[in-house]
Amino acid sequence: MGEILINQLFAGAYLQEGTNIGHEVINLFRDDNDENYLYITPMGNVKGHNVDKVLFVQNIAGRETMEIVMKAEGLSNASADDVKKIFYAGVNIADIFNKNLYHGEAETTKTNSMATYCAKDVRFPKKGKRIIITVDSSYEVEDVGSCIVEKDISYQRDNDSENNGNASSSAARYEDQEKTVYTVDSQGRDIPYISKQLLPSIEGILIVTDGADRENVKKQMEGAVLSLFDLDEHKIAIVKMKSKTG
């Protein structure tokens, strides 16, 4: 079964360095061939997961409340050959980001991570509608709501030899050692490199829209949420947006 990936847009110190352009800006536009390419932050790679839908969000409060900016589905992996063919207004994607910096030096992003997926369908909330989701930050089970720190495993080999008359034999003994991989943050400090961050479970969803007073609209929205998330109906709230007055 496919997984839903929640990915935060335009966050982190990377965007504050020089005149960097966030790679995820491509998510908002079709390329010159009318294709929807996506970049998954922070490094453009997703490993070990069968993702078939992505919810792109903006954080509102304490990594617990998020607003959905867009949804993408029908995903296929973008290859290095695809990257060579991705152009926006006649400019190749690699040339768009070639002046970006990483810790003061020219960015050396590999071409196959300029785009993560190509999506068949990308949708945005309708004008005047906001979709808010909340997550339970206190929910803790194995591999949920946690960070996985990258480890290097080095191997040592010791040869033990035995002499038996004119014959000799040797046995190889292997021992593995695990070391934490470190990176440097925006202040020059060594910090563990987090290879994967797993979000806690979604506790409930709030949708604010000016169409919430129409029962057919509420039913459609509720059905859409139930098709995406394993939630009980009472954890979905659809409320009418207050009209703006002068």
Tokens of 27: 């998510």
pLDDT tens-digit profile of 182-234?
554 445 555 555 555 555 667 788 888 888 888 888 888 888 888 877 788 88
* Per-residue pLDDT at 60: 66
- Of 54-63, 207-216, 233-242, the poorest mean pLDDT is in 54-63
> How far is the CA of 170 from the CAs of 151, 156, 161, 173, in angstroms?
31, 16, 4, 10
**Average pLDDT score over residue span 12-28:** 85
Average pLDDT over residues 160-169: 48
Asked whether 23 and 114 are in contact (CB, 8 A), the reply is yes
Residue 170 has pLDDT above 50, yes or no: no
- H-run or E-run covering 219: helix 215-228
Cα angle 106, 44, 109; round to 5? 20
Weakest-pLDDT range from 5-9, 93-97, 116-120, 184-188: 184-188
- Predicted confidence at residue 8, as pLDDT, reads 87
User: Residue 33: what pLDDT?
Assistant: 95
- Which pLDDT score is estimated for 32? 96
Closest CA to 67 of 188, 205, 244, 229: 205
> What is the pLDDT, as a whole number, of residue 93?
92
Question: Model-level pTM?
Answer: 0.58
Residue 188: its pLDDT value, please? 52
Mean pLDDT of the chain: 75
**More confident position, 147 or 74:** 74
Q: Name every residue whose Cβ is closer than 8 Å to that of residue 18 and which is 6 or more positions away in sequence.
A: 99, 100, 101
